[in-house]
Amino acid sequence: EGISDQIAVETLASLQGRNLTEDGVVVVPIGGARSVSKFLARFGPAGAGLRVSGLCDAAEERHFRRELARAGYARPETRGELEEEGFLVCDRDLEDELIRAVGPDAIEAILAQAGDLASFRTLQHQAAWREAGFVDQLRRFLGAGARRKLRYAGLFVRALDLDRQPRPLRALLNLA
């Protein structure tokens, strides 16, 4: 949906030794799920007639199903049908998928290497975040800093073991 998703897709493709441009694939951030209708109209069956696929957050799954039907696709009624149309659903979102796949220890090592671990610890000790789980703390940290979400998308993908790639991300690249 966004630029951090684009960075993650392109980084994983690069790690797999793929050149998406040579494959005729362009990764386009759409600026959020609510913009999908505009892109489907422009590039989908009623527009340029290109094969369009992508990632969506679990909370936006119904919206994507509805917009695919409006854009001329067969209305996907299930997640499986949505994925058959080329749209993979991330549990919560791609950041959440990456956080789970990379794991807390590796993430803290990445934060330390980038010089952000002390700032993250500060957030963890704030009263509003003390009781929150690691994932929620990290999501807040990534969202609160200038471009952190963008900076860490590629770093998290690079830290993945090849056998721990998030399923939606791996499946999307298999479609390309």
The residues, any chain, with a CB within 8 Å of residue 6's CB and separated by 6 or more, are 27, 28, 29
Q: For the chain (length 176 residues), average pLDDT per consecutive 10?
A: 93 94 93 91 92 94 93 91 94 94 97 97 97 96 89 96 90 90
Tens-place pLDDT, residues 64-73: 999 999 998 8
CA distance 170 to 86: 12
At position 110, the amino acid (one-letter code) is I
Q: Which tokens is 156 given?
A: 């998290």
Q: Which pTM was predicted?
A: 0.91
Residue 150 token pair: 């963008």
**Spatial CA neighbour of 12 closest among 175, 169, 171:** 169
